[in-house]
Amino acid sequence: MKYIHLGRSGVLVSRVCLGTMNFGSVTSETDSHKILDKAIDNGINFIDTANVYGNKLGEGVTEQVLGRWFDSRTNLRDKVFLSTKAYCPMGHGINDRGSSAYHIRSAVDASLKRLKTDHIDLFILHHIDRGIPNKGDIAVWNIDKPDVIWPKHLNPITRFEEIWEVMESLILQGKISYVGLSNFPAWAIVQGMEKAIRRNFFGPVTVQNMYNLNQRTDELEIIPACREYGIGYTPWSPLAGGLLAGALEKYKSGRRASLRTEILNNQQKLEKWEELCSTLGYSPAEVALAWLQHNPIVTSPIIGPRTLEQLISNVKTVDINLDNDTLNEINKIWKPMGEAPESYSW
């Protein structure tokens, strides 16, 4: 395994991060523990989860799976750099979601209990807080559909002044060590950093957004913002939900029917992509992950293996070297966005 600093922080994390979204729902607890053990054996020290993972409202299923794993392995917790997230609904209560100080405090305490640990290494805001739909000054809440929370207004409801104040408090209490942002736009990342600087607060050390060869929007402004502020970048969905993992070949053999529309819409690209990967002697998934690791702003792609075989294949990517000619060929297939404003003006 290879390691890299998480953004401008002093902590070193593995070049791949083990994502656990499938644990306890798609992947059984027994198999999840086997994957976790194998990840540690292969040098992965960066594990990512979220309080909402597990598909059961308010239960934190995946965090509980991790907690029982930590509890059953002696002296393992301090070998892991653990991140979790909060924002999404965790109950039917009006304050059981969001980024308010009220909710963040309760979310951290609940995650600590489920994870069976006394500290979270990286606490991430799962989404920008747009609030809930409202009429005038009165919040409207559908108790039967707590996930229907998208508002009609544009500005964030919870301000960074409130968020950073509670984060500072939690750090002083030893409950969390670092903070991060997920699914935030560039303007909000910049706003958050500038307000952190004014408070003499370290601010976010990582941004976790969707980024892969088929979705390169973050190249416009988010990746440049991360570079400017020394923020690590940990992309989720590095394989575009399986599209970049040999989907065309699998579709032709009768698999990946769920991706039919995307596969057919990208068929010419996928034909060239899978042919190039075959020429290189690696699987499409391996090349897609290796491509991400060639970006100096990318800290660790978040992998989500469902099996031990997928995990081992993902780990191998840290040793794959793609030369400039190969990177140029990849860019011919999957067009780069470029950086703003040069990409759309001048």
Give residue-wise pLDDT tens across range 310-320: 999 999 999 99
Contact between 163 and 104 (Cβ < 8 Å): yes
Write the pLDDT tens digit of every residue in 269-286: 999 999 999 999 999 999
Q: d(Cα 257, Cα 249) in Å, to the nearest integer? A: 12
pLDDT value of position 144: 57
Write the pLDDT tens digit of every residue in 183-195: 999 999 999 999 9
pTM, whole model, 2 decimals?
0.92
Q: Rounded to whole angstroms, what are the CA distances from 51 to 10, 84, 185, 289, 315?
A: 26, 7, 22, 26, 25
Look at 37 and 250; give whichever has higher pLDDT. Answer: 37
pLDDT value of position 150: 45
Contact between 233 and 211 (Cβ < 8 Å): yes
19 SS3 class: strand
Closest CA relative to residue 273, chosen from 334, 182, 223: 334
pLDDT value of position 265: 93
Q: Is cis: bond before 133, omega within 30 of 0?
A: no
Catalytic option among 3, 53, 233, 282: 53
102 assigned to active site:
no
Closest CA relative to residue 84, chosen from 111, 105, 64: 111
Mean pLDDT of 134-155: 50
Q: What's the pLDDT band for 346 if we cut at 50, 70, 90?
A: confident
198 SS3 class: helix
Write the pLDDT tens digit of every residue in 5-63: 999 999 999 999 999 999 999 999 999 999 999 999 999 999 999 999 999 999 999 99
pLDDT value of position 285: 97
pLDDT of 258 above 90: no
Q: Go through the domains of the chain in sequence order and give each one's CATH number.
A: 3-245+284-322 (3.20.20.100)
Rg for the chain, CA atoms, rounded = 20
Residues belonging to the chain: 346
Q: d(Cα 85, Cα 126) in Å, to the nearest integer? A: 5
Q: d(Cα 78, Cα 49) in Å, to the nearest integer? A: 17
